[in-house]
Amino acid sequence: MAKAAAVHFTCAECGYSTGRWLGRCPSCGSFGTLAEEAPLAANGQAEARPLLRLAEVEVEDAERIATGVPELDRVLGGGLVPASLVLVGGEPGVGKSTLLLMALAAISRDRRALLVTGEESTAQVKLRAARLGGAEQVEILAETNLEAVCATLERERPDVCVIDSVQTLYSADVGSAPGSVGQVREAAARLLRVGKQSGVALFLVGHVTKDGSVAGPRVLEHLVDCVLQFEGDRYHAHRVLRAAKNRFGSTNELGVFEMTGTGLQGVPDPSAIFGRSAGEVGAAVACALEGTRPLLLEIQALVSPTDLAMPRRVGTGVDPKRLAMIVAVLSRHAGIALGSADVFVNVAGGVRIDEPGADLAVALAIASAARGAPVRAGTAAFGEIGLTGRLRPATQAERRAQECAKLGLAAVLVPAGTKARAKVSLVEADTLRRAISAGLEEAPSKAA
């Protein structure tokens, strides 16, 4: 008897696949995320194919499509490659639909641009388009049936098509529910085929979860040509677009936007965002790593005298133990007395940092608040603080320094011995005490 194609279960978080159902995924440890998937089709017999040498492969130097959003073109590596497949991930509300509708509006001026919406009605899209302006020529299809979407793409062959979102597409051939790993993977695989055959460049919108993974669509990352991540907090105006993967360009490029009443505005000089705090007492810019990617964050501190026997150390976005340690090292080794002061630290933008590379900037913000002296203008900091008051090099120094350079900062305060090639001046210090004297402006004299 031929062995029946086995049913298998796939984890919606990490894509781990197993032959039996489990309550907890052994790979990522999530609970209740394993779902049954339809068995994979058995491999049929196929004929051998002729081979080519690379020298014989013909390449058409395809002209890139300008999206009309310069920050998006930059992250894509100089525009959209025709017939490519781009996954755009981001949390709900970050502005994915807005960004892509703006791109479609600009593209529709001289090419065919189609929006397939599964999340919003055509009327909702029209209202949004009215706010953004210029989207009259964009074609629209409200459809969640995968077969219908593919058939339409084959017939209409638009130059660019946005699928908003890939999680809403549904194919009756796949047993599982819309949004499941099986559905999302099937949708992407079929769209990839149709897109390449019909010459349609596709943007797939994918929602990500709070912890930053593209839920479900994570399994698509190897399939698509580019993975763009759109990040930012819906309560704050700034958004950052990055390429996590790009087959046609570098992944170091970064696009910065500001959400306004009329859509997303590119921020050509992003240091302006961080420069706002320049000269403010109690603020420092950290270059922290989020996963493997560097991110510039503003750290704010307030030091206020108290009569409490146990002064308060309150951190928002920083680990309380780490904060207590930094306060102790500042008092003991850097001559910043904090024994009778409450210390409050906040990471601006509602971000959490949980890596020691941000220590130095946290210490600098507290020292600045305690001394009443601002951090030098255009200066960021990264580095780990040891219990003896020495600074230890942080991991991935070069990427961090390059991020500072990219965002237009002039100098970075780093632990002595940090090696990094970047267009930014590295100010080295071996101890926290020296870092503070190098990083802070002179305090205004009390007598004046």
Q: Interface with Mg ion by CB under 5 A: which residues?
A: 97
Return d(Cα 406, Cα 380) in angstroms, integer: 12
Report the residue number, 26 or 92, with the smaller CB distance to Mg ion.
92
Residues in 213-272 at the binding interface with ligand TYD, rule: CB under 6 A: 234, 259, 261-263
Kindly report the backbone phi and psi dihedral angles of residue 382, in degrees, each rounded to the nearest multiple of 5, phi listed first.
Answer: -150, 155
User: Which CB, 84 or 97, lies closer to Mg ion?
Assistant: 97
The option from Mg ion, ligand TYD, none interacting with 95 (CB < 5 to 8 A, set by class) reads ligand TYD
> From the list 77, 79, 89, 90, which residue makes contact with ligand TYD (rule: CB under 6 A)?
90
Give the DSSP letter of residue 4.
Answer: P
- Residue placing its CB nearer to ligand TYD in the complex, 208 or 364: 208
- Maximum distance among all alpha carbons in the chain? 95
133 binds, among Mg ion, ligand TYD, none (CB under 5 to 8 A by kind): none
> How many CB atoms within 10 Å of residue 340?
11
- Residue number, 231 or 403, with CB nearest to ligand TYD: 231
| Contact status: 96 vs ligand TYD (CB under 6 A) | yes
The site partner of 399 among Mg ion, ligand TYD, none (C-beta below 5 to 8 Å per kind) is none
Least Cβ distance, residue 205 to ligand TYD (angstroms): 7
**Residue 378 interacts with ligand TYD (CB under 6 A): yes or no:** no
CA end-to-end distance (rounded Å), the chain: 95
**Phi and psi at residue 114, to the nearest 5°:** -120, 135
Please choose which of Mg ion, ligand TYD, none residue 390 contacts, taking the beta carbon within 5 to 8 angstroms, the exact cut-off set by kind: none
Question: Which residues, 332 to 351, sit near ligand TYD by CB under 6 A?
Answer: none
Least CB distance from residue 128 to Mg ion, whole Å? 9
C-beta of residue 39 within 8 angstroms of C-beta of residue 8 = yes
Q: Cα 189 from chain centroid?
A: 24
Binding track, positions 3-32, relative to ligand TYD; x by CB under 6 A:
------------------------------
The tokens of 418 are what?
Answer: 């940090």
Query: Interface with ligand TYD includes 98 (CB under 6 A)?
Result: yes
Say how far apart CA 321 and CA 366 lie, in whole Å.
Answer: 15
In angstroms, what CA-CA distances link 155 with 81, 161, 194?
A: 21, 13, 10
Q: How far apart, in whole angstroms, are the C-alpha atoms of residue 354 and residue 212?
A: 14
The reply on whether position 95 binds ligand TYD by CB under 6 A is yes
Nearest distance in Å: CB 128, ligand TYD: 5
State the minimum distance, in angstroms, from the CB of residue 105 to ligand TYD: 11
Which is closer to ligand TYD, CB of 97 or CB of 183? 97
Q: Buried b / exposed e across 135-163, counting CB within 10 Å, b at 16+?
A: beebebbebbebeebbebbeeeebbbbbb
Report the distance separating Cα 306 and Cα 324, nearest Å: 17
Does 128 contact ligand TYD by CB under 6 A? yes
Query: Of 105 and 285, which has the nearer Cβ to Mg ion?
Result: 105
Task: Count interface residues toward ligand TYD (CB under 6 A).
Answer: 16
**Amino acid letter, 357:** G
Q: Quick one: which H or E segment has residue 360? A: helix 359-371
Give min distance, CB of 344 to Mg ion, in A. Answer: 36
Residue 271, binding choice from Mg ion, ligand TYD, none, Cβ under 5 to 8 Å by partner class: none
**Least Å distance between CB 342 and Mg ion?**
42
Beta strands (DSSP E) in 195-307 are 201-207, 226-232, 238-246, 254-260, 263-266, 283-290, 293-305
- Any idea what the Cα angle at residue 160 is, between residues 155 and 163, rounded to 5°? 85
**Cβ 447 to ligand TYD, closest distance in Å?**
49
Q: Which does 94 bind (CB under 5 to 8 A by kind): Mg ion, ligand TYD, none?
A: ligand TYD
Would you say 85 and 223 are in contact if contact means Cβ atoms under 8 Å apart? yes
CB of 240 to ligand TYD, least distance (A): 13
What sign for the dihedral angle of Cα 355, 359, 361, 366? Answer: positive
Of the candidates 244, 216, 177, the residue with the CA atom closest to the CA atom of residue 13:
216
Does residue number 50 form part of the binding site for ligand TYD (CB under 6 A)?
A: no
Please tell me whether residue 78 binds ligand TYD under the rule CB under 6 A: no
Pick 94 or 161: Cβ nearer ligand TYD: 94
219 vs 17: CA distance, rounded Å: 11
Q: Tell me the closest approach of the beta carbon of residue 171 to Mg ion, in angstroms.
A: 21
Q: How far is the CB of 230 from ligand TYD (least distance, A)?
A: 7
Minimum CB distance to ligand TYD, residue 209 (Å): 13
Residues making contact with ligand TYD (CB under 6 A): 90, 92-98, 128, 131-132, 234, 259, 261-263
